[in-house]
Amino acid sequence: MSMKKIAIYDTTLRDGAQAEGVSFSAVAKVQVAKRLDEFGIAYIEGGFAASNPKDMEFFSLIKKETLKTARIAAFGSTRRANVKPEEDKGLAALLEADTPVCTIFGKSWLLHVIEVLQTTAEENLAMIADSIRFLKAHGKEVIYDAEHFFDGYKDSPEYAMAALKAAADAGADCLVLCETNGGALPHEVAQITATVKAAFNTPVGIHTHNDGELGVANALAAVGVGAVHVQGTINGIGERVGNCNLASVVPNLMLKMGYSCLPKAENLKQLRALAQFVYEQANMRAYTKQPFVGDSAFAHKAGMHVDGVRKVSRSFEHIPPESVGNSRRILISELSGASNVFLKAIEMGLELDRKSPEVREVLKQLEQMEKDGYEYEAADASFQMLIKKVLKKHQSFFELKNFSVTVDKQGTASGCRSEANVKLCVNGECVSANGEGDGPVDALNQALRAALVKFYPTIASVTLVDYSVRILDPEEATAAKTRVLIESSDGEQTWGTVGVSENIIEASWEALVDSVEYKLFLEEEKAKK
């Protein structure tokens, strides 16, 4: 017996683009659409046809692509009040978009009909029916988004249902119940959706927002009572606090509720990569604590949890991380036990016996380092260097002789100029180099790499991706101890390092050295293979 199918309708490129700080170029929208299609999304809403030239450019560009699964939808509204469909500019734009699917929204709530549209209840029903008939006459698959449906139903069930009947009688292919304000609760969504499902033969869909932190829960509640179409965005980006998060809905539907959402079940393993890709195209930092696909989704810190995962992974993991393309992470902190160190060492490719004295020594060193202000959760590379030092396997790739940093400002109108000088030795050969940067740490980074590149050319590929500072004891004011976290990348891998000192430059230097040595360690291991 085949699993019941749920049509996933992605509106990242329209509703998601309405999120604060998000703006997709037309080309980026095409790239996202191609990835969504590769993943197996059934519908991709490309934009608001009458809204802006960029969305219309997307519709033109996407026609040149060959999609395997997805049908492209153009978004718009019902005709304006007292305007014939054939004379309405919004409907004309939908036809101009030339997509196989048109999604139009209409009003279900009398408050909006009377106060916002400033028309009559009867005219609104005519607007819905006329618009759908017009698009159907042009051969379009028409999805009707019943805007503010749940608020409208609570206010006047008879009118909300009449609006749906107008759409269904006009030939709408799907009636999507929109929880536009994001304020409904799952039991309300379930009850009202069940009522709609019983009243219509037309397929029913759900579109939720996350204002009450219930976007995903409300979508699942609707599916549980018969909705067969779910709208949302990748990573939940969208208006206000966001939309229903498809990166959570899809695995819940497939892995926990037994529905089929993708052409191939194994496509679910692409989920994390898709989520990361959308973050990049939207120019957003990935939310590390995002369920299923975030860096922390399968991260374990407490020693008892790590020991449980080591013995039976499902004891502390609700699904296998690899089922959504993610992976387990073992965090290292003062809460760590022997299992954390043991599994972290294995993760790093180091050979270590869980009951060995070295593990106890690493724990002892870790406890002391964290008392001194170090933190290794976001500094895996520094922790690896710590393990190697305890195991007496650490190799210093260079010897520092001295460094100096100067910051120069000429007058109030000019900016600051930072310059650093570094002198170090490699295998008895000493070299000096200087660097300039936007700030003292950037200058120091440039100088260090300039000095090392002669001996280790691969250092040229390392860039500083992120730099953060935390004051550990602010009551000490300018004498406070500072923790610096640095994220570095060589274009293929990214790693974190940490440094601590009362002097922010010295703390930065320590983190920079760990970063460089970790890269050289990686190259050394690669050469051995």
Class of 458-529 in CATH = alpha beta
- Would you state the pLDDT for residue 57? 93
DSSP of 153-184: HHH-HHHHHHHHHHHHHTT-SEEEEEETTS--
Q: Are 508 and 484 in contact (CB under 8 A)?
A: yes
Is pLDDT at 338 greater than 80 in this prediction? Answer: no
- Would you state the pLDDT for residue 468? 86
CA distance 342 to 85: 69
How many other C-beta atoms can be found within 10 angstroms of the C-beta atom of residue 318? 11
- Would you state the pLDDT for residue 2? 58
What value does the CA radius of gyration of the chain take, rounded to a whole number of Å?
Answer: 29
b/e map 336-346, b = 16+ CB within 10 Å: bebbbbbbbbe
pLDDT in tens, 200-219: 999 999 999 999 999 999 99
Give the residue among 45, 15, 399, 456 at the shortest CA–CA distance from 209: 15
Q: At residue 16, what is the residue type?
A: G
- Would you state the pLDDT for residue 342? 60
Q: Please report, rounded to a whole number, the percentage of residues in the chain having pLDDT higher than 90.
A: 60
pLDDT in tens, 16-55: 999 998 988 888 999 999 999 999 999 999 999 977 788 9
CA distance 99 to 461: 44
pLDDT in tens, 214-240: 999 999 999 999 999 999 999 999 999
CA distance 211 to 241: 6
Q: Are 271 and 53 in contact (CB under 8 A)?
A: no
pLDDT band, residue 409 (cuts 50/70/90): confident
- Name the pairing type of β-strands 141-147 and 71-77: unpaired
pLDDT band, residue 179 (cuts 50/70/90): very high
C-alpha dihedral (103, 109, 115, 121), degrees to nearest 10? 90
Select, from the ranges 275-289, 353-367, 462-476, the one with the highest average predicted confidence (pLDDT).
275-289
SS (H, E, C) 450-483: HHHCCCCHHHHHCEEEEEEEEECCHHHHHHCCEE
Give the residue among 213, 181, 43 at the shortest CA–CA distance from 109: 181
The fold for domain 398-455 equals Double Stranded RNA Binding Domain (3.30.160)
Dihedral sign computed on CA atoms, order 504, 506, 510, 513? positive
pLDDT in tens, 106-116: 999 999 999 99
Category of 47 on φ-ψ map: left (φ > 0), alpha (ψ -120 to 50) or beta:
left
> Does the fold of domain 458-529 match that of domain 7-281?
no
Complete edge-to-edge strand list for the sheet that includes strand 482-489: 463-471, 482-489, 494-501
Q: In terms of C-beta density within 10 A (0-12 exposed, 13-18 middle, 19 or more buried), how is residue 418 classed?
A: buried
Is pLDDT at 322 greater than 60 in this prediction? Answer: yes
Kindly list the domain boundaries of the chain, sorted by start residue: 7-281, 299-371, 398-455, 458-529
For the entire predicted model, the pTM comes to 0.73
b/e map 130-158, b = 16+ CB within 10 Å: bbbebbbeeebbbbbbbbbbbbbbeebee
pLDDT band, residue 302 (cuts 50/70/90): low
Is pLDDT at 477 greater than 60 in this prediction? Answer: no
Q: How far is CA 443 from CA 461, 505, 510, in A?
A: 17, 11, 15
Considering the domain 7-281 in this protein, what is its CATH number?
A: 3.20.20.70
Q: Are 341 and 384 in contact (CB under 8 A)?
A: no
- Would you state the pLDDT for residue 1? 46
Is pLDDT at 331 greater than 70 in this prediction? Answer: no
- What backbone phi and psi angles, to 5 degrees, belong to 138? -95, 15
Quick one: average pLDDT of 86-113?
Answer: 96
Quick one: average pLDDT of 448-474?
Answer: 86
- Would you state the pLDDT for residue 382? 79
Average predicted confidence (pLDDT) for the chain: 88
Is pLDDT at 429 greater than 80 in this prediction? Answer: yes
CA distance 221 to 239: 22
Helix extents (H) in 118-245? 121-137, 149-155, 157-169, 186-199, 215-224
pLDDT band, residue 491 (cuts 50/70/90): confident
Select, from the ranges 156-170, 340-354, 464-478, 498-512, the one with the highest average predicted confidence (pLDDT).
156-170
Query: Which range among 116-120, 211-215, 311-315 shows the weakest confidence by mean pLDDT?
Result: 311-315
